[in-house]
Amino acid sequence: MFGRNLRSLCAPYRSVSDLCRKLGINRTQFNRYLSGESFPRPDVLHLICRFFDVDARILLEPLESLDTRPGVLNHPFLADNVGSGMQTLTEEAFPSGFYRFSRKSFVENNLIIVGLVYIFRDGPYTFLRGYEPRQAMSTHGLPTNGPLREFRGYVSAQEDGVSINVAHRYNMAASFNYLGRVAAFNNGFWAGYAARPTRETLHGRVVARMVYEHLDAPLHDIITIARQTGYVKPEDLPEFHLRQLMLDTPLT
């Protein structure tokens, strides 16, 4: 039973070797656990349970009978429709790391918002974390302290791209983003749109094109880019961002 459960827990990961490195467990010994030839010591079992967010019942009870999938998106009613996309997104399809993004402001008609987000993995899941630029917050008279500027989200695989659901603390503001990879020389750009779940207004917009650029750069360069976030004029955008935003073309 333990070997069967462990094989199910390992299924979303790219390779057993990579998983063993993350766990700090010898690959040969781990294979014995997978085949059911041996059981882990209590300290090793604790390590495995903590990593996969399960408990010691995996030794004796079928995984499917345990409540091991937290959150509504992995509820049995939604797991195959929503939850599976959260667990199948590979590094190749959407790498971890820092991204610079740009999109038309939802409220300032002639300005572009430029920001920075961090994409990271935790087990089979992909998460996003970022902060609203101070300049953008202060422009609208909003507090600029860290907790109120921070937003978080999760990333799911789509047929030809990724979707990202993002929200500020206490769900005070949220957005849905879709991105598809753009053919480029460094293969590091994604383009799509962001949408706000709010009422349509005459003076703002609820949907805007968006560009993500994966920053494969030293940390000091990323810090420099972070200091340049906020509202910018179209002519101050990186050329490739400006081209993908197609500011003069209506979004359909």
pLDDT of residue 152: 94
The number of helices, as runs of H, and strands, as runs of E, in the chain is: 9, 9
Q: What is the pLDDT of residues 214-223, one digit of tens each?
A: 998 899 999 9
Give me the percent of the chain exceeding a pLDDT of 70.
92
- Rounded distance between C-alpha atoms, residue 234 and residue 186, angstroms: 23
pLDDT at 70 over 70: no
- Rounded distance between C-alpha atoms, residue 142 and residue 148, angstroms: 9
CA 156-157-160 angle, 5° bins: 140
Q: What is the pLDDT of residues 117-134, one digit of tens each?
A: 999 998 788 999 999 887
pLDDT of residue 16: 87
pLDDT of residue 87: 78
pLDDT of residue 213: 96
Backbone angles phi, psi at 202, to 5 degrees: -80, -20
pLDDT of residue 136: 73
pLDDT of residue 127: 94
Tokens coding 215: 């920053």
Amino acid at 240: F
204 vs 21, residue with greater confidence: 21
